[in-house]
Amino acid sequence: MPAFEWEKPVLELEARITELKQFVHSKEMDFSAEIRSLERKASQLRKEIYANLTPFQRVTMARHPKRPTTLDYIGLLFDDFTEFHGDRSFRDDQAIVGGIALFEGQPVTVIGPQKGRDTKENIARNFGLPHPEGYRKALRLMKQAEKFGRPIITLIDVVGAYPGIEAEERGQGMAIAQCIEEMSFLKTPILSIITGEGGSGGALAIGVGDRILMLENAWYSVISPEMCATILWRDSSRAAEAAELLRLTPTDLLKFGIIDDVITEPLGGAHRDHRTTGMQIRSFIRRYLAEIINRPADALVEERLARFRRIGKFNEKVLAGLEN
């Protein structure tokens, strides 16, 4: 499994522990106390490293190639998933997956972008960058959920919508805008979870939720750090600096009131333990779905609209608190 640069001190210490264990085994010597001490040191060092990650390090975590994808989470969280295909207008976009499933016996509609695990799958799924037909498919499924009274759960991991010429020719901006508008007024509960990357309108198009949750090492912003650095300074190498300014981490977004809660990940990231990550997400879905599933439809819409209208209101006291 690929290691991050900041993990090297721990990996070096763990390698020394392994060497010591092999040496002790070959010489039939007892260094168990020393080994336990080194293991405690390694564990503490790993905790300290991951408690103090920079915003851009968390962005890097969100992009780990082994991080669970939407289909991984669907397999971990839901039963009897039936995938739906196509937008009934142009074609099926494999960069967006969606369908109906059971969450602990409750029928739900599940939607999310899907990245590939290898080159072949990434090409088929356009590297997880949805075309307009992907968003139209998502909207079709959401309106179907409203018709049959099913809660909607969106799992968001997308750096942005596909910006190619053909996508623009088929109405990419309009498709995103229609999703945002229609989601705002859907009379059914919507729970959105940012599991990895949450970039720009490509993420917001399926993120207009009654409750919004984020995994600990996810990010959510109007633009990626690299693109922000390119626009501000014409230098993408300053992405780490841009990530600091964008306030894109779950901690920042919770302070802003943009998200409702942060889902902790296994130490070292979700890619290290898919199952435990799934169990964590399951408990949060259970909790937050219970809050909204029996709300009157009209109240849901009014509260959803009020929630998003509050975002971006300038508040000097809040700003001062964030600066401290």
Q: How far apart are CA 212 and CA 210, in angstroms?
A: 7
- State the average pLDDT for the chain: 91
Same domain, 17 and 97: no
Domain coverage including residue 185: 59-323
C-beta of residue 193 within 8 angstroms of C-beta of residue 213: yes
Query: Cα–Cα distance between 153 and 206 in angstroms, integer?
Result: 9
**pLDDT at 322 (0 to 100):** 59
Residues whose CB falls within 8 Å of the CB of residue 240, separated by 6 or more in sequence, listed in order = 54, 55, 56, 225
Pair 154, 295 in one domain: yes
Q: Which segments in the chain show pLDDT lower than 70?
A: 1-2, 24-31, 314-324
Given this model, what pLDDT does residue 167 score?
94
114 & 242 share domain: yes
Burial class (CB in 10 A: 0-12, 13-18, 19+), 293: middle
What is the predicted pLDDT for the residue at 52? Answer: 87
Domains of the chain: total: 2
Does the CA dihedral 138-141-146-151 come out positive or negative? negative
This prediction has a pTM of 0.88
Q: Phi first, then psi: what are they for 215, rounded to 5°? A: -70, 155
Q: What are the φ/ψ torsions at residue 189 (nearest 5 degrees)?
A: -65, 140
Assess whether 104 and 121 both reside in one domain.
yes
- CATH number of the domain residue 217 falls in: 3.90.226.10
98 and 17 co-located in one domain: no
Q: Looking at the structure, do residues 120 and 247 belong to the same domain, yes or no? A: yes
278 and 176 belong to one structural domain: yes
Residue 119, Cβ neighbours under 10 Å: how many?
9
Identify the pLDDT of residue 134. 97
Residue 50 pLDDT: 87
